[in-house]
Amino acid sequence: MKKTAIVTTLLFSALVYTFGQMQNSTSDNILGQAQDFASNNTSTQNPDSDAVQNPDSDAVQNPDSDVVQNPNSDAVQNLDSVSDKINDFDEEEFLDLDWESEGFTLTEVTEKSQQIRTVTKEEIEKSNAITITEVLQKTAGLNVKNYGGYGNTSSVYIRGMSGDAVAILVDGVQMNSAQSGEFDLSHLAVADVEKIEIVKGGSDTKYNISGACGGVINIITQKKHTPGWNVFASISNLSYYPGQYYYKQNKNKTQTAAMDLFDTQEISTGFSLGNKIVYTNVNAVFHRAANHFLFKDDNLKVRRRINNEVYDAGANASVHFSLPYDIQLQISDKFYYADKNIPGTMTSPTPGNQKDLSNIVWAIVKMDKVGTQRIQTEFLSNYKFEQIDYEEPGTDSLHQLHTINVINRWDFNVTTWLNLSTDGDFTFNYLDSTDCGHIIKWDGGASITAEFSIGNHVQLIPSTKIVYYKEYPIVIPKVGALFFLPAGFTIKSNVYRTFKQPSINQLYWKESKIAKGNPDLRYEDGWGGDIILEYEKAGILKADSSFYVNYYMDKIQWSTNSAGQWTAQNIGKALYFGSDNSLITDLPTFIQFGIDYHFVLTYLLSNGLTLQDNIRIMYTPLHSLSAHVDFSWKSGSVSLIGKYTSERYTSNLNTYTLDPYFTLDISFAQNIGKYITVFAAVKNMLNAYYFETVDYPMPGGSVTVGVKVHAGGDFKSKKNKDKKENK
């Protein structure tokens, strides 16, 4: 590691010296460089809940088997205007200028070789979703393994992989728990999300995150900052379809009570306030969910879900500073608390209770230029505290995890044909757990990525990340390529290695009669590649289609040993063939259309299995299709969203399957005057009874109605408005 640090330091020093010489030798052509740069910039706990909640559950027995640049473009393109401002500076006018900040954009590059899907704020609002998982299902057609209604555990699939094989980021920082490998998306409020980036494929070069075997989901909460003030408040109620159901097996039949029409409520509020120098965001959200929906059991009898009540609350506060020398600083805090009744399976006689608590403190510093506009850097650090307290008769599990993340990213625009990106990351974890003990775990790595532009038609992106693992480094290479074709077509291709470290639960779960961890586990390894065809025609449509292959080996699975204990072992092998396809219209009309289709063919190769055995990976559907149609007018919109998921095997024995299902949702929003918006949504309007996880029923049809109140303004004085008009 010392040698790696020395080499990195020397490389950085050489690059800075080179840029200094370039600047000195071309001082007579600064404007030309700036224009070239502007036109060519390419910027850059949840523990194993089933294990805690139900040691005999399927998830314990086999929990892992599913298997920047933003240069001051106004200053570059309007130097004369900026010069006039400097010569005739007025502080009050400066604070009143029209401006918008996109936030921290070093990691939001304009082009990379991956297949990337961005879910916009408008799409999020139109979905009327109550959770991030629901947003991803509705807007990007991603598959989900869900354990029931609001507040229950869920995992998102990308290219057939889910859970700890998908890296979850918030504002560019990985959130996956070191204890379980996953992150509970219910800890984030939908109202706090500005947009979501979905990067498909392993070993990404966009964020260089270890463990991103299936892909990356980056949830961006940093808002556009428009000077002035804004306040909002929202309240909604969800009612499940009423009906008759059986109580106490088959004997008693009863009718849905009136209170069940007020099953789930959401209240959110917040405000933002600021000018060009300082900007503040504060918001909070509260949910009460009874989750008393109706479902059909194995005998096709209609039942009512009980012992699944959830109360939770979250809050977020951030302050953003625009400092001299193109420096931006943001400090934020995200808090979440939940009290959840855990029902277990639909036949479980021993429901439990779980209390979740998390708090994350962020500090982000971004410099748009370091001595020159050709160098940008970003420093991110956060402290995350997560506590999970689970109780059921005879069981009390408490887990407290402290995590510190530090990330430093640099971007060097060497020439118009070469861009270099490098980053280093370090993570420290301390766990105090009744089931794992006191554990200290740390890891880190460094990466470098080069982007070579060959003319205007080809871009090559080689990348290497070195990860620290058990006192020796692991090299994770990747090569990407882009070919820009006429008429709006682009071909992308990638070849990569994937890597993921074991979780603390897999390594150090205390030995009992039922299970024990395995400190001798190897890391999970694999190789893959893809080819992607994209098409974009402004004002008409955007479309992309990919074909990918992934070979995954040393997958960690829980299996029984000679003593009958469940223990984690590197026995999993699998092969994935698949295709992701999407099309979104961009027509200048009141009708928009989008479709996402995912195909993934999996082959389980563990325990001597071969392709001829034709064994599929559990919970991985062969086909999934979603489509949406949006009708919009000046003051409102209506969206219709349909999703189909094919059958899935409930175990790797491929003995039983979950039936395919289709859901249809409709969302409506209408502005009333300037400050009020009423909205409504009918989810699963056909009242389909279905399962995404065996023995955990999903909600039937529901109706949501709500109202939003929003107002805002700026601080421009009449004097300054008159001054602008006179100019």
DSSP symbols for 623-683: EEEEEEEEEEETTEEEEEEEEEE--EESSTT---EEPPEEEEEEEEEEEETTTEEEEEEEE
Q: For residue 298, what pLDDT is reported? A: 86
Determine phi and psi for 66, rounding to 5 degrees: -75, 65
Determine phi and psi for 37, rounding to 5 degrees: -65, -45
Query: Are 400 and 420 contacting, i.e. CB atoms less than 8 angstroms apart?
Result: no
138-152 pLDDT per residue, tens: 999 999 888 999 999
416-427 pLDDT per residue, tens: 999 999 999 999
638-678 pLDDT per residue, tens: 999 999 999 999 998 899 999 999 999 999 999 999 999 99
Confidence band for 592, pLDDT divided at 50, 70 and 90: very high
384-394 pLDDT per residue, tens: 999 999 998 88
What is the arithmetic mean of pLDDT over 530-535?
97
Confidence band for 472, pLDDT divided at 50, 70 and 90: confident
Q: Other C-beta atoms within 10 Å of 146: how many?
A: 21
CA dihedral of residues 299, 300, 302, 306 (deg, nearest 10): 50
Q: What is the CA radius of gyration of the chain?
A: 26
List the one residue out of 212, 179, 178 whose CA is nearest residue 197. Answer: 212
CA distance 79 to 81: 5
List the one residue out of 573, 659, 579 whose CA is nearest residue 617. Answer: 573
Alpha helical stretches, state H, 294-395: none
Query: Are 712 and 233 contacting, i.e. CB atoms less than 8 angstroms apart?
Result: no
Tell me which of 6-10, 506-510, 577-581, 589-593 is least confident.
6-10
Angle made by CA atoms 174, 406, 193, in degrees to the nearest 5: 40
438-457 pLDDT per residue, tens: 999 999 999 999 999 998 89
Which token pair is 649? Answer: 């095997």
Confidence band for 724, pLDDT divided at 50, 70 and 90: low
Tell me which of 40-44, 197-201, 676-680 is least confident.
40-44
What are the residues whose beta carbons fall under 8 Å from the beta carbon of 516, sequence distance 6 or more?
Answer: 509, 510, 565, 566, 567
Query: Are 369 and 377 contacting, i.e. CB atoms less than 8 angstroms apart?
Result: no
CA distance 264 to 152: 14
What is the arithmetic mean of pLDDT over 85-97?
37
Q: For residue 41, what pLDDT is reported? A: 37
Residue 38 pLDDT more than 90? no
Residue 354 pLDDT more than 60? yes
CA distance 169 to 197: 9
List the one residue out of 278, 279, 355, 285 whose CA is nearest residue 316. Answer: 285
CA distance 211 to 165: 6
Q: For residue 4, what pLDDT is reported? A: 39
CA distance 384 to 357: 11
Query: Are 127 and 135 contacting, i.e. CB atoms less than 8 angstroms apart?
Result: yes
CA distance 280 to 271: 8
List the one residue out of 465, 447, 355 whose CA is nearest residue 409. Answer: 447
Residue 97 pLDDT more than 50? no
Burial 552-572 (b: 16+ CB within 10 A, else e): bbbbbbbbeeeeeebbbbbeb
266-314 pLDDT per residue, tens: 999 999 999 989 999 999 999 999 999 999 988 889 999 999 999 999 9
For the chain, helix (H) and strand (E) counts, in that order, are 11, 38
Query: Are 557 and 571 contacting, i.e. CB atoms less than 8 angstroms apart?
Result: yes
Residue 259 pLDDT more than 90? no
Query: Are 592 and 630 contacting, i.e. CB atoms less than 8 angstroms apart?
Result: yes
Kindly state the DSSP code that residue 148 receives in the 8-state scheme: S
Which token pair is 212? Answer: 């991103």
User: What percent of the chain stands above pLDDT 90?
Assistant: 62
235 burial (CB, 10 Å; 0-12 / 13-18 / 19+) is middle
Residue in the structure block whose two tokens are 């480094």:
473
What are the residues whose beta carbons fall under 8 Å from the beta carbon of 542, sequence distance 6 or more?
Answer: 534, 535, 536, 583, 584, 586
Confidence band for 247, pLDDT divided at 50, 70 and 90: confident
What are the residues whose beta carbons fall under 8 Å from the beta carbon of 462, sequence distance 6 or more?
Answer: 449, 450, 477, 478, 479, 480
Which token pair is 161? Answer: 């992989």
CA distance 149 to 263: 11
Query: Are 658 and 647 contacting, i.e. CB atoms less than 8 angstroms apart?
Result: yes
- What is the average pLDDT score of the chain? 83
Confidence band for 600, pLDDT divided at 50, 70 and 90: very high
CA distance 620 to 599: 10
CA distance 274 to 253: 58
What is the arithmetic mean of pLDDT over 488-505?
94
Strand partners, 465: 447, 476
Q: In a 3-state reduction of DSSP, which class is residue 16?
A: helix
CA distance 544 to 534: 4
List the one residue out of 234, 292, 304 whose CA is nearest residue 261. Answer: 292
